Structure 1
Amino acid sequence: MGLAIVAPSKSKKEIANWIAVFKEIDPHIELQVYPDISKKESVEVVVLWQHPTGILKEFPNLKLICSMGSGVDHIMADYVPDQVPITRIVDPRLTFSMTNYVVMGILNYHRQLLRYIRDKQSKTWDMTNPEIPITVGVMGVGELGGDVLDKVAGLGISVIGYGNRPKSDFRHPYFHGEQLQEFLNEVNVVVCLLPLTPKTEGFLNKDLFQKFQKDTYLINVARGKHLIEADLIPAIESGHISGALLDVFQKEPLPDNHPFWEQEQITITPHIASITNHKAAAPQIMENYRNLQQNLPLANQINKDQGY
């Protein structure tokens, strides 16, 4: 059984780190790395990140697809044989980093840090309205979104969750499905942690923004394809959105001529909210590599029908 890594966006150093962990666990593993995959018929497990579209068709004996991160939308957007399962990475450190990033963004907005940075530049001493009252709504309340709700609520801030399906005995106020407007009526900070599926692609758009309370603040740390980028600045100019913190974009790196660079009310970070740690992730893939060999259940297998 052979394993192939197909992750052209990752640097040679990153790939070397993954290989080192794989080899440490199993020194005899047959391992090939894109683009130098000469024995495609021997590949039964493929490890992917932002892979070339259509490459999965080149492995005739493929039995397992492993994402190098928690997201699988880059896989689901491509051709996947019906019988081939997909797994993802679940790492407490990913949750830790994501939650801390979101909490940072919420508190920076709540305590108006960006305003005071601008005041320093203009030598302005303004003590008026030092806090913006907030209620935080998180769209997507899986492992990541649930942890964000827990930590923000622990700070004494009101929180509400929103998801696609009902949840019984959820630990925070929660709306789902057709209750979207009820959810938006209650919050003035919206955090997007939705999985990316055909249903949620483009979910952050002008129609949604028009349903926001006036001056709602937006944080998107899910996927760039959730946001219709052309709709954001008009929503800021109309007052539906007071500003945004964005870590993900339709095209990365963000092009130099993109209008987000010049928009003062949009804060940009370069997709660093939560980064996969190869030392935590590679052993999970190797565990499933062994499980596949022994006909055991796979860890962190996704539901293809749901898309996550």
Structure 2
Amino acid sequence: MTTNVLFHSTPKRWAEYQAPLTRAFAAAGLDDIHLAEDIPAAEVDYMIYAPGGATDHDFSQHPRLKAVLSLWAGIETIIDNPTLTVPLARMVDHGLTQGMTEWVTGHVLRHHLGMDAHILGQTGTWDPVAPPLAQERRVTILGLGTLGTAAGLALAALGFPVTGWSRSQKSVAGLSCLSGDAGLLQALTVADILVLLLPDTAATRDILNADTLAALPEGAVVLNPGRGALIDDAALLAALDSGHIRHATLDAFRIEPLPPEDPYWANPKVTVTPHIASETRAITASEVIAENIRRGEAGEPLLHLVDRSLGY
């Protein structure tokens, strides 16, 4: 029997993913797959999900639907949809993880080495002041999922003392792992550079606010390649203006694209990157999608299932 896989996304993504998905299905031994961007609702078995616009899809119109497979790591726009009752898998793939690790490592090193002063601030003044070694610059990562753990281990391998914080206690060799409210405060107080890699949930929104910013060391740097809703924007701008926070490099925002009038653009202590820290790559993501459909058809547990009680 043919397994119908609906690609529910934009025409641009369909053009990007059609060939890699077809190859991945063949490599996974899925020979009887019908992949299309237009399949009658009643005949859809699996949905690959990455809409470019409206996110209020009515999943109840698909009586045969077995699972929804997101191309995104973040699933905050779909998880509360009351019509979604089948398993939901978020995207975790090695291409996405590698991209995030490279962005985090690159910007931590940029701020650690003070590269902006040399790249952007050429004044003709010879000032041979060397930066401290990595062992003297403390990094805290909020969020010890796949992305946070990978980034933390990469930084630890370079010699940075890395503290990781998560809602529930975790243990990662090479990292100092904390959890809970008391652990959050402790993790912030040792963050010369703070990296936000938490999901967007009710428990994490505005986790970086006036109180938690005040717990950071004077002159700390904030990196946010996670979710825009993690930051109270007004509080961060105030902390930058006061000098308590030295710089913020931000890749995710509450409104995207970031509007031209947003104060982040004009603030000299803010670097904006256009949500490029970790993009889903078609080749590697297609392999994950194919493996999950293979598992679903074989009656095996799906990878990266979302726990709706936790929000990720």
Same topology, TM > 0.5: yes
Change in CA separation of 1:123 and 1:168 when aligned onto 2, cut-off 3 Å? closer
Q: How far, CA to CA, are the matches of 2:154 and 2:268 in structure 1?
A: 28
Alignment of 1:251 onto 2:250: no
Q: How far, CA to CA, are the matches of 2:173 and 2:32 in structure 1?
A: 46
* Corresponding residue of 1:265: 269
Question: Cα deviation per residue 1:156-187 (whole Å; 9 max; x = unaligned)?
Answer: 22111111112257542122112211121222
Change in CA separation of 1:56 and 1:294 when aligned onto 2, cut-off 3 Å? farther
Alignment of 1:188 onto 2:188: no
Change in CA separation of 1:169 and 1:117 when aligned onto 2, cut-off 3 Å? closer
Q: How far, CA to CA, are the matches of 2:270 and 2:101 in structure 1?
A: 20
* Corresponding residue of 1:39: 40
The offset of 1:141, in angstroms, is 1.2
2:78 alignment partner, SS class: helix
State TM-score, norm by structure 1: 0.88
Write out aligned runs for 1:88-99 (5 A): 88-99=90-101
Question: Cα deviation per residue 1:247-268 (whole Å; 9 max; x = unaligned)?
Answer: 1111222111111111111111
* Deviates most, 281-290 or 148-157: 281-290
Contact 1:188 1:213 in 2 (8 A): yes
2:175 alignment partner, SS class: coil
- Select which of 4, 7, 17 maps to 1:5: 7
* Corresponding residue of 2:138: 135
Change in CA separation of 1:22 and 1:159 when aligned onto 2, cut-off 3 Å? closer
- Select which of 124, 144, 162 maps to 1:159: 162
Aligned pair count reads 300
1:157 alignment partner, SS class: coil
Contact 1:64 1:85 in 2 (8 A): yes
Change in CA separation of 1:286 and 1:130 when aligned onto 2, cut-off 3 Å? closer
Q: How far, CA to CA, are the matches of 2:119 and 2:83 in structure 1?
A: 48
Change in CA separation of 1:118 and 1:283 when aligned onto 2, cut-off 3 Å? closer
Contact 1:50 1:74 in 2 (8 A): no
1:279 alignment partner, SS class: helix
Question: Cα deviation per residue 1:122-180 (whole Å; 9 max; x = unaligned)?
Answer: 44433346449521001111222112221212212211111111225754212211221
The offset of 1:55, in angstroms, is 0.7
Q: How far, CA to CA, are the matches of 1:183 and 1:219 in structure 2?
A: 15
Change in CA separation of 1:38 and 1:65 when aligned onto 2, cut-off 3 Å? closer
1:66 alignment partner, SS class: strand
* Deviates most, 86-95 or 103-112: 86-95
Contact 1:44 1:59 in 2 (8 A): no
**Structure 2: which 5+ runs fail to align?**
none
2:303 alignment partner, SS class: coil
Q: How far, CA to CA, are the matches of 2:139 and 2:171 in structure 1?
A: 21
1:276 alignment partner, SS class: coil
Change in CA separation of 1:80 and 1:131 when aligned onto 2, cut-off 3 Å? farther
- Select which of 48, 54, 57 maps to 1:55: 57
* Corresponding residue of 2:210: 206
The offset of 1:283, in angstroms, is 2.6
The offset of 1:90, in angstroms, is 2.4
Identity %: 30
Contact 1:196 1:223 in 2 (8 A): yes
* Corresponding residue of 1:107: 109
Change in CA separation of 1:97 and 1:49 when aligned onto 2, cut-off 3 Å? same
Contact 2:167 2:180 in 1 (8 A): yes
* Corresponding residue of 1:20: 19
1:137 alignment partner, SS class: strand
Q: CA RMSD for the aligned pairs? A: 2.3
Change in CA separation of 1:169 and 1:70 when aligned onto 2, cut-off 3 Å? closer
Alignment of 1:29 onto 2:33: yes
Change in CA separation of 1:288 and 1:170 when aligned onto 2, cut-off 3 Å? same
State TM-score, norm by structure 2: 0.87
